[in-house]
Structure formats: C-alpha cells, structure tokens
Amino acid sequence: MKAVSLVSGGIDSPVASYLVSEAGADVVLLHMSNGEFGDPKDLEKVIRIAE
C-alpha cells in the first residue's frame, strides 16, 4: 500500500506519517514550499523531519 502524507513542519504530520509507515505503508512525504513568500527555515525544518 502507498500513502501520500502532507508534511507541514509541525509535529502532527510527521508522527502520523511514521505511524502509517509502521503499519506497512510506503509513505511519500509532500511539502508545499511558499517560495519567496515563506521563511527558508521552514523548508530546512521539513527536510530535517523527513530525514
């Protein structure tokens, strides 16, 4: 089974993604960057969470 998880940078989405992966799903993480309107640190945070 495959699942797409929307990762916001908070704690809820990574925990939910982890639980789904532990249940046997192949999880693809998806984050929408706000580009020049967002804080570059947000993207760095999501990358650290994904690792």
Q: What is the number of other CB atoms lying within 10 angstroms of the CB of residue 25?
A: 15
What was the pLDDT predicted at 39?
82
pLDDT digits 0-9 by tens, 6-32: 988 788 999 999 999 999 999 999 988
For residue 50, give the 3-state DSSP assignment: helix
pTM: 0.75
pLDDT digits 0-9 by tens, 30-48: 988 887 887 888 888 888 8
Q: How far is CA 4 from the centre of its chain?
A: 9
The DSSP annotation for 7-46 comes to --SSSHHHHHHHHHHHTT-EEEEE----GGGS-HHHHHHH
Instruction: Please state the domain count of the chain.
Output: 1
Domain that holds residue 33: 2-50
What was the pLDDT predicted at 21?
96
